[in-house]
Amino acid sequence: MRLHTLKEIVSQRIYQICQGYEDADDCDYFRKDAAFKTAVGKHPGTGKELASQPTMSRLENYGKVKDLFRMFYALIDNYLNTFPKPPKVIVLDVDPSLHYCHGHQQMSLFNAHEDEYCLMPFYVYDGLSGKLITTVIRPGKTPTAHEINALLKRIVKKKERFPKTRIIFRADSHHSKPEVHNYCDNNGLKFIIGQEPNPVLNRLFANTISQAKLRYANTRKPCTVFASATYQASTWSKPRRIICSVIVNKLGVEDVRYIVTSFENAGAKYLYETVYCGRGNAERYIKDQKTGLNSDRTSCNKATANQFRIFLHAAAYQMMHALRENILKGTSLARAQFDTIRLKLLKVAAQVQVMKTKTIFHLPKHFPIQDIYEKAVRIFTAIRT
């Protein structure tokens, strides 16, 4: 006899993640909770409990690779469904992020830069809105060209829904590989990617670096100089445009950065400061994901189980982001972090009255941000009816 449907178990776990209870162990504490039962769709008065920790752990380890691919594409569909009409452009911000390992997780590797054993999953966001597109588990090392292209291939596959939408791939210098450049060229993607400095590039932009130093020497004020040139590394299939940014700080120390891009006509300053540096927002999105939803709790032994976990956290992110962007728009929580929204809005105390055909939640007569709560309830009521 089946006690729980798959939808109920997955919904229960996602709702618990949103509320800050990300561990499977937490299921044992909340399986009788009236609020979670109501959210999942079970009437609290039936006596039927929610899934326990053993049930949740079995589900994590049950998923097959084909099931995970279906979840991967479902997350992308969730993202695409947020657009009322095809967008003109989608910016793919791809950034691996550190997940510490304290056991014997599959794919765990020692990362010399982090000085830890870790996983480094791909986090993929819409760089213009902060919406999460997907997350993919991977080893704790610098991504290879094959990994990057495999990820892009599966995301671009969904572009058939929006054939006229331009896709821009944006990432740091770890993603600048000749195979990645070629893939973007061959599949209609524009790219703007960080590029590691090297002696050849430093010689190519020697005049730009000297110009920045001279400007600082004359003014004794911090300055920034931009330039662009064509460059072809020995492993590249063709010459590509390089943007150079030279920043001389108030101490007279220069900071030279490079990016490689397929944009040929836009100005160097605009491409660097506006287009490329916009990827810095991805760190805020990852902060919401890891700090607000604890998505780095990838402590299962099997890689497939950890992939299942981060998919659940990805779904929780999509829910919380939709709540913030749509329901809380125009309120004091419109730009709040997920943990702030949870503390102020989702954890309001209530007295639960369970009746035969319905459940009533009696809220306090007065509490902080009551007006925002009432607005959210009105919107949800309108959506349901």
Note the pLDDT tens digit of each residue in 281-321: 999 999 999 999 999 999 999 999 999 999 999 999 999 99
Instruction: Give the pLDDT confidence of 208-227 residue by residue, as tens digits.
Output: 999 999 999 899 899 999 99
Instruction: Give the pLDDT confidence of 325-371 residue by residue, as tens digits.
Output: 999 999 999 999 999 999 999 999 999 999 888 899 999 988 889 99
Which amino acid makes up residue 318? Q
Based on its alpha-carbon atoms, the radius of gyration of the chain, rounded to whole angstroms, reads 24
What does DSSP say about strands 116-119 and 99-100: parallel, antiparallel, or unpaired?
antiparallel
| Phi (first) and psi of residue 94, to 5 degrees | -110, 125
- Contact, 21 vs 316, CB < 8 A? no
351 three-state secondary structure: strand
Give the Cα-Cα-Cα angle 182, 188, 191 (nearest 5 degrees): 65
Query: Between helices 65-80 and 303-322, what is the axis angle to 10°?
Result: 10
- Contact, 263 vs 190, CB < 8 A? yes
Q: Which helix (H) or strand (E) holds 258?
A: strand 254-261
Q: Report the C-alpha gap between 290 and 22 in whole angstroms.
A: 11
Q: Which residues contact residue 273 at a Cβ distance below 8 angstroms, ignoring those fewer than 6 apart?
A: none
Instruction: Give the pLDDT confidence of 4-34 residue by residue, as tens digits.
Output: 899 999 999 999 999 999 999 999 999 999 9
Structure-block tokens of residue 242: 């390089």
* pLDDT reading at 385 higher than 80: no
Q: What is the pLDDT of residue 22?
A: 94
How far the first Cα of the chain sits from its last, in Å, is: 34
Strand partners, 246: 225, 256
3 three-state secondary structure: coil
- Contact, 285 vs 123, CB < 8 A? yes
Which amino acid makes up residue 333? L
* pLDDT reading at 2 higher than 80: no
Kindly list the distances between the CA atom of residue 201 and the CA atoms of 147, 214, 249, 259, in Å, as whole numbers in the listed order. 27, 20, 21, 11
Single pTM value for the model: 0.94
